Structures are given as C-alpha cells and as structure tokens.
A and B are shown apart, each in its own frame.
Chain A
Amino acid sequence: MNKQQILIEFRDFSFEYPTSENLPALQNINLQIKAGNLTVLCGMSGSGKTTLLRHLKPELSPAGKKTGDLIFADSLREKNILYNRQKIAYVMQNPSNQIIMDSVWHELAFGLENQGLKVQEIERRIAEIAIFFGIETWIDKKVAELSGGEKQILNLASNMILQPDLLVLDEPTAQLDPIARRDFLQMLFYIHSETGISIVISEHNLNDLLENADHVFFLDEGKLDFSGSAIGLADYLFSNDHSYKTVLPLATQISYLSGINQITEKSLTRPLSIKQGRDLLKRALLYQSTKTLADDQQIDINDKIGIPGGEIKGFSDEIDVPDDAIKSSNLKSEQIEKILTVDRVWYRYNPDDDLVLKETSLNIYKNEIFVIMGGNGSGKSTLLYLMSRALKPFKGQIKSAEQRRIAMLGQNPEAVFAQDTVLQVLTEYKQRFANTEQEISDIIDLFDLRDLLQRHPYDLSGGEKQKLALAKVLLIKPDILLLDEPFKSLDVINKQKIKRILLELKQKMSIVIVTHDVDFISEIADRCAMIFNQRIIAQSATTDFFQKNSYFTTTTYRLTRDIIPGCIVFHDLQQKLRNLTNGELSDA
C-alpha cells in the first residue's frame, strides 16, 4: 500500500482569500493523494472542502495568499503545457451549469476540441465513452432534454473522455434526488473499479460512499483533522464526540450505541452498509438471547422491546408490523381544525400537455407538519405551487379558511433574492407585513445571519442562501408555510437547527414540506403522503407510513425492520436497545 504513487502532496499548505478578515481558509494542510485510490474528503460546509479541491485543479485554484508547498507528480504534468489539462478532471455540483454545449455529442467533443485532436480520434473517443457509459441513445439529444441525474452522468462522461489520471468531484450528488444519486455513485464506482483511476470526491452525504472509500480525509475549519480509513474516521469522531458523527451512515452509528457495543460477543467490525448493519444487529440480538438463556433469566425480549403480545421474529425474514402499537402515535386528525383543503384538483401546464395532477385531494390541519414525497417530476412541486395560489387548478378547488396567509419557498433560494445585500433581502417586506426591528433582529440571530448582513446574497454558500430564504419567508408570518426541498444544501448541523426551528414553528402554523430526505423528515413529520401517477397514493401518520413501506422508508427501518420492529427513526432504535440491555448492560 505504501508503494502507491503519490499524485499530489500538500506540505504545510495554507491558503487565505484576499477578502476574508477571518482565519485562513486552509491551515497547515499536510496530505497526500495516492494513485488508484478513491479518496473521500468530508467535513462541514464552510470547512474548506471546495477550496482544497480547487487547488487540485490549477486552472480553477482561487486567487489568494498561499504558503507551503503543493506538489504535483510528474505524471500529472504535460511537457510544454503550462497547466495539466488532460490529466485532472473536475466535476462540480450543479448538473446543468457545468454543461457548455447545446447537444450531448457536442458536449462530449468540447474537451477534445480544446486538445486539438484529429477528427478520427475524437469520433473514436466519443463512441468509446458513449458505449462505456451506456449513453449511446442520448448522443443526438439536446442537453435540455436530459434530467438532472442524466446531466450529471454526462458531466462525468465529458470529463472521463479526456482520459484523466485524477478525477476530482466536488459534491457531485448534492443536487440530485436519491435515485439519481444512487445511479451516479454506481457509475463512479464502476469507473473506479474498471479503470483504476484515482478519484477524490467531497460529499456531505456519506451513505453508500464510505463503504467504497480507500482513504478518508476529514476537514474541520480549514484544518485536516483526520486522515485514514472510513472506520478509523468513525472511531475518531466517536471517541472525540465530534458533532459531525451524525453524518456517518446509520449502520456505522449503530455499532457505537451503548447496547450493541457491549452485547456483541467478539471484537466487532464496524458496519458501513445496511447489510453489514443488519448482520450486526442480528448477531447482537442472538448474543443477547443466548446470554439471557444462559443466565436462566427467562426474560421475554418482546417485553423489553415494548411490543405487547408480539413474538420476536428477529431471526426470520418475515416482516412484522404490529398495527396497534403505531396507532397510538397517530394524530387524531378528525378533531383538529382543517386549515387548507385540496379538493379533487386536476392540473396540467398547457392544454395539450399530459396531466400533472389527477383528482388529487388532501387536507392540511392546524399545527401539523405534513410531508409530501414522490419521484422526480411526480408533481410534488406543482401541488405546492397550487396550494400557494401561484398556479390555479384547471379543475377542482383549493379552499382555505379566511385570512390564512400562505407563504411558499421553492427549491432554489436564488429565485427570491432581488436585493443587493442580505439585510435588504430581509427588510424588503418590512412595511407590508409590519415587521418590527425586534422581529427582524430575532430572525437574523435565529438563522446566524448577523455576520453576513452586508454581503450580496449570491456570494453566500448554498446553506447560507437556504437559511436566508427561510428567514425571509418567516418574516411574512404565514399561517401555512410551504417548503420545497428545504434541506437540499444544508449540512447536518444546520439541518438539526432547522429541525428545531420547524418544530417550534409548528406551534404557530401548519407546515407542508416536499422532500426526498426520508431519514431527516421522519423525525419531524406528523403525517406523510406519497405522490405517484399524478395522485396521492398513501397518506397516513408518519410511523404508519414508513412501517407499511419496505423500500421507500427510513434507513433505520430498513436496518431494523424485522430484527427490532417498530423503529422508524434512529431515536426509536436507541430507546429500544436501551430497554433491551437495561440494568446491568447499559451505561457500563
């Protein structure tokens, strides 16, 4: 392993942006990127991931004060060419902004045109890459016809066609839905295993990624905090009780739960995938039951887990969903005031288009968080726009009680920023909604925007933009708040923060959220619904909703489904494990 060639090495490298008054963006970085590795770079947003990655690609490295050394291997340098242009490829976050040309074949050819290759060579490479990526059928398409996920695959292909030695990816899946993300990562792993190319990838969602990582770097506030294996990172984060530990895959986190830690018989290997996590849980339960039998204590495990009358089926593959247990947590919707009714709504964008929504009905009740899920283009956002009255249904009605103020925030916070500074964005509707100075100031503090007030909204990071947009919408003081994918560009810390804010807001208003983020939303939603085939398919209380699904459900439920029934969110599992191992085993 040590004989692997070093591609890029940072030695005591520091970097400072010319405009920043704060700490340097990168401080004393010492790291080596090794050939053939899939290297994962993780860290909170604002920890300097992008800055570091951009230094790997000289054409894109930001201007500023650099100290220390940044050494590129000779193989990455082309003789007579100033920049290492063929050897390092760089894929960015936004799928469509990176695309330069109008059609797929032209986009693939772009990099090759720059290299001045012969026509035959260009055609051979396009053919080759199209077959390798399985995108032959797209070649004649315009890029506008592709979906976001397909665009990102195209970006991967148009970089791989340059035959680079190093592929750098900066949060390539942040804008994709889970299905598109899965396809993209699978393609990436396939490329890695087929070509042995070196990959450096930064991501804020580590699921599915860590299990394939050869090396992991963890950046914290511009410093390299950890370098090593994925499991090493987990150990490091848990032993230091770092707040970033909640980003780790849930399967990994399970192995650190007080219960599991003790009840597994031998030295455990930390699980990284769902399958490994399930194996661990099964072993843990087996160990526990044999242990209790050995102790002759005749404890009914089911009592401990809290399922009355049920029989543990921990070792069978059957799915057991006890209905009564869940219903207790149900929201008794009949008794609560309806605040908005969508009554058999039909919608299509143009008279000749296909229907987007077909006889869709739902009710929103007072003080609830209602979540709508569904695939790409299933009409979730359209439904939200209809509820906000920005669109009008062509059949059916949307009724709300009198004088209900509705405010909606769409997927892209950029779409609501029309002012030059953050402060102006926040004070735009000051008169209209009678915001007092105090209210504005409170909101600023609530979302940590105090330091950013004079910045231009477009110069903020994705997470900051999202927070600013949320702050602006909350100043409208709505009775019904509609949010479309509000967690897309937030890191874990901010997500937790928004979660607290939303739970607090629930006391004052109803909140409807459209999202793909199943794991996160399961922690706060009261009711969930799924849209499919232009209709609302399933609509029920959160626990019920996720327990009835086996695939479209939370990671915790997928991990525990038949092993420890009734766990929807991670907290449930923690609780049940604590019950299971109470007394002598817990908190030892």
Chain B
Amino acid sequence: MRKWSWLAIISLISLMVICTILRIEQTALFIFFAAIVAIIPFFISYEQKKPKPRDLMPIVVLSALAVAGRILFAALPNFKPVTAIVIIAGMAFGYESGFMTGALSGLVSNLFFGQGPWTPWQMLAWGIIGFIAGILSEKHILVKPWSIFLYGILASFGFGLFMDTWNILGFVQPLNYKNIVSAYLLGLPFNISHAVSTVIFLLPIYKTWLCQLKRIKLKFNLK
C-alpha cells in the first residue's frame, strides 16, 4: 500500500514536470485528471481493508470536526483548521487514516462550499499532509512541539504551492523561474494566513488532542 501511494505521488509530480518541460497544451487537463487518479490507490486500499465500525469512527469524527471548523471560520479568507486537524489525525492514527481524513475533509467541505477544479487538488494536498504526518510520527520525527509546529507551517505553505500549481502549470506558458516565483509570491498572503491559522489551531490542541486520542484508541480497541 505504502509503495503504491509513493508511486502515485511521484508519478503525479513527474507528469507535472514533463508537461511543463514539453510545453504541452493539455497540461491543465492531464494533471487535473492525474490528481484524481492519484487519490484512487489510497481509496481502494481503504476499501479493501473493510474497516469495522469502530475503525471508521476516528476518520469520520475528525473529518467532521475539520469541516465544521472550516464552516465556522469561512468568513476569514484561508483561515482554516483543516490542516491542523489532519496533521493530528495522521500522527494519532497513522498515515492511512491521515490521508483519508485529509481527503474526505477536502471532498466534504467542497460539498458545502461548492466543487471546483480545486477539489481533487485539495483532497490530494490534505491527504498527503496527513499521510506524511503519519509517516514522520511513525519514524519519531514529529515528537517535539517545535517539530510539529514547523511541520504545520511547511505543510500549510506546501498546500498553497500545490494548489497554485494547477493554475500556473495549466494556464501560463511558457514557464520560467520569473513567473513561477512571482506567481507564488502573489499567493503568499493567502499562504501566510493559512500557516498562521494552522499554528493557531495546533497551539491549543496538539498536546491535549494527541493525549486524548491515545486514550480513545485504547477505549475503541484500535491497534
């Protein structure tokens, strides 16, 4: 599963690079569908696990919390708790649950806010954030508070870069370092807002939530 997931992510990135270098006219189309395709191996492996009701619950509850938070803070641009909650989900319940929490939060929040070309990108971006959080905490890298906050900031910026990529790759040609850099710079205020919100949400919850989720894992009899 893990191998397939990495493969999906790496092939998506290489497709982006190839399309850009070859200046393919259909880049927007290709990478839009490629993002959808990249999510599928994760979904299929989740289906194949045939989770029991209690295995489903953490993902469902955390996604609902993330989306509810996004709805409550919808008035502030790009100020959303989703990234923080997805990171916690990945750390507490492993990379697979992390991915699912992120991807499902993305999909469901767009059921409320309206789907758009960004839907698969959001799903994938949040999914990967949870996925990597899971793997990093498995490797005991995400332990110290500062490492969690740093990851939160990096993840928020990564999310922003990833989301801008489709616009830039698909609709700006030819690409050179100048327009790439300036495009990302223009997106910077939004990404800063996102990073700030992630840290603001992580700050109160990272310790207590991780601790409580550990207890819940025991109570739910999850491995």
Contacts and interface: CB of A to CB of B under 8 A. Distances in A.
- A adjacent to B, CB under 8 Å: yes
A420 B215 CA distance: 10
3 contacts: A420-B211, A420-B215, A456-B215
Contacts of A420: 211, 215
Interface size class of B (residues with CB under 8 A): under 10
A420 B211 CA distance: 10
A347 to B, nearest CB: 21
Interface string B208-221: 00010001000000
Contacts of B211: 420
Interface in B171-193: none
A142 to B, nearest CB: 12
A456 B211 CA distance: 13
Contacts of A456: 215
Contacts of B215: 420, 456
A420 B208 CA distance: 10
Interface residues of A, number: 2
Nearest to A63: B221
Interface in A15-29: none
A423 B112 CA distance: 42
Interface in A510-527: none
A456 B215 CA distance: 10
Interface in A451-466: 456
Interface string A410-437: 0000000000100000000000000000
A525 B184 CA distance: 67
A317 B215 CA distance: 62
B52 to A, nearest CB: 11
A274 to B, nearest CB: 43
A420 B207 CA distance: 13
Secondary structure of the A contact surface, majority rule: loop
Secondary structure of the B contact surface, majority rule: helix
A456 B218 CA distance: 13
Nearest to A419: B208
B129 to A, nearest CB: 26
Nearest to A418: B208
A539 to B, nearest CB: 37
A456 B219 CA distance: 11
Interface string A441-474: 0000000000000001000000000000000000
Nearest to A458: B219
B45 to A, nearest CB: 23
A290 B215 CA distance: 70
Nearest to B208: A418
A364 B118 CA distance: 56
A74 B215 CA distance: 40
A420 B209 CA distance: 12
A345 B215 CA distance: 44
B103 to A, nearest CB: 18
Interface in B197-211: 211
Nearest to B216: A458
A249 B211 CA distance: 46
A559 to B, nearest CB: 46
A415 to B, nearest CB: 15
Pairs A-B, 3 closest by C-beta atoms? A456-B215, A420-B215, A420-B211
A456 B214 CA distance: 13
Nearest to A456: B215
A96 to B, nearest CB: 13
Nearest to A459: B219
A437 B215 CA distance: 29
A251 B191 CA distance: 69
B24 to A, nearest CB: 41
Interface in B53-90: none
Interface string A384-426: 0000000000000000000000000000000000001000000
A94 B172 CA distance: 55
Nearest to B221: A63
A230 B101 CA distance: 51
A465 B215 CA distance: 19
A161 B177 CA distance: 63
B40 to A, nearest CB: 23
B157 to A, nearest CB: 32
A228 to B, nearest CB: 38
A422 to B, nearest CB: 15
A176 to B, nearest CB: 24
Interface in A72-121: none
A43 to B, nearest CB: 26
A253 B191 CA distance: 70
A489 B215 CA distance: 25
B62 to A, nearest CB: 17
Nearest to A100: B53
Interface in B93-148: none
A424 to B, nearest CB: 12
A207 B215 CA distance: 40
B51 to A, nearest CB: 14
A452 B215 CA distance: 18
B42 to A, nearest CB: 23
A556 to B, nearest CB: 44
A420 to B, nearest CB: 7
A327 B211 CA distance: 58
A85 to B, nearest CB: 14
A420 B213 CA distance: 12
A566 B215 CA distance: 55
Nearest to B212: A420
A45 B167 CA distance: 61
B207 to A, nearest CB: 12
A297 to B, nearest CB: 70
